[in-house]
């Protein structure tokens, strides 16, 4: 068990109640004490040091904070950390293995699917959810799947191409 009191930059004021939660993050159980008001995005970034999950707006608009929650893409700034108690969360840090990048990571590299990279973790997690339910998506289906994720740099075309690249590679490796 680790206490977020020691880890977050603004510890709770004296007397603020905390809740102990256990969630599985990228395959590992983590038990932490959190303030009930703490957002899941902030638990991941500040408490668990998984800074690949970005926060761009904190108001559910940009999608930079997208993670998989029990396999479904959610905006982690719209959920309290306490709501994740007993659930599985996957972040962008969970994509690669010790020896290889995930095909989505390769695809974004191959097809130049990023510029500043701020939107990229959220894009990849939204795309991962898509490819797990639909291994052979059309371009329109990809655009729909990432419609909750904003990119200010790329114009989206290369992101779509990156996801198509990953889909093809994943289909090939499953044959
Ligand atoms: S930070 Fe969550 S949607 Fe923008
Ligand atoms: S690459 Fe910059 S916001 Fe998407």
Which ligand has the shortest distance to the CA of 150?
Answer: 2
**pLDDT for the residue 9:** 45
- Calpha distance 162→111 (Å, rounded): 5
Atom of ligand 2 nearest to the CA of 114: 1
Three-state SS annotation for 8-27: CCCCCCCCCCCEEEEEEECC
Q: What is the pLDDT of residues 48-67, one digit of tens each?
A: 999 999 999 989 999 999 99
**pLDDT for the residue 1:** 47
**pLDDT for the residue 13:** 67
> Is pLDDT at 6 greater than 60 in this prediction?
no
Which ligand has the shortest distance to the CA of 56?
Answer: 1
More confident residue, 130 or 16: 130
**pLDDT for the residue 174:** 61
Give me the domains of the chain, ranges plus CATH numbers: 2-94 (3.10.20.30), 103-174 (1.10.150.120)
């Amino acid at each position: 068990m680790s206490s977020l009191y020691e880890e977050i930059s603004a510890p709770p004021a004296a007397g603020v109640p905390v809740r102990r939660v256990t969630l599985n993050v990228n395959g590992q159980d983590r038990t932490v004490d959190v303030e009930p008001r703490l957002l899941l995005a902030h638990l991941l970034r500040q408490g668990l040091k998984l800074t690949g999950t970005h926060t761009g707006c904190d108001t559910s608009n940009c999608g930079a904070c997208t993670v998989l929650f029990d396999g479904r893409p959610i905006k982690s700034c719209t959920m309290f950390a306490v709501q994740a108690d007993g659930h599985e969360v996957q972040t962008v840090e969970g994509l690669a293995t010790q020896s290889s990048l995930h095909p989505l990571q390769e695809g974004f590299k191959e097809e130049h699917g990023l510029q500043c990279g701020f939107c990229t973790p959220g894009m990849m997690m939204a795309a991962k959810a898509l490819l797990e339910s639909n291994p052979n998506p059309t371009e329109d289906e990809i655009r729909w799947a990432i419609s909750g994720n904003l990119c200010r740099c790329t114009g989206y075309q290369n992101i779509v191409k990156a996801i198509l690249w990953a889909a093809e590679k994943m289909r090939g490796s499953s044959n």
